[in-house]
Amino acid sequence: MSDPLRVALTTLPDRESAERLAAAAVAEGLAACAQVEGPVTSHYRWEGRACREQEWRLSLKTDPSRENALRERIHALHPHRVPQWLVLGASASEPYLAWVRSRPA
């Protein structure tokens, strides 16, 4: 992925968990910004059965150099055994990219 910005997405079972992970990622300098959205309704299959759950989406903006550390930290804090982890490459304005890159590590 050669895009200068990463947007990582995960879902959590409740708002409190999403807020906790968002705050930790920003406080630890792994994400420049974290947004909690929800609730969203997820439909999926798990261990052979159809599931429908209310979840909260967490979007995390980071630069490529912090992507792996962000993933490791979110997975360590995440309550799901197999958390959703999607990373999208994105372009952004130069001022926004400069802000993302300026976050303390």
39-89 per-position pLDDT tens digit: 999 999 999 999 999 999 999 999 999 999 999 999 999 999 999 999 999
Residue 1 has a pLDDT of: 58
Number of CB atoms found within 10 A of residue 59's CB: 17
How many whole angstroms separate alpha carbon 40 and alpha carbon 49? 20
pLDDT tens digits, 8-50: 999 999 999 999 999 999 999 999 999 999 999 999 999 999 9
**Where exactly are the structural domains of the chain?**
5-101
Q: Is 5-101 a CATH 3.30.70.120 domain?
A: yes
Q: Decide the pairing of beta strands 49-62 and 86-90.
A: unpaired
Structure confidence at residue 3 (pLDDT): 84
Listed in sequence order, the residues at least 6 apart from 61 whose beta carbon sits closer than 8 Å to its beta carbon are 5, 6, 7, 31, 32, 33, 34, 100
User: What are the start-end ranges of the E strands in 1-105?
Assistant: 5-12, 33-46, 49-62, 86-90
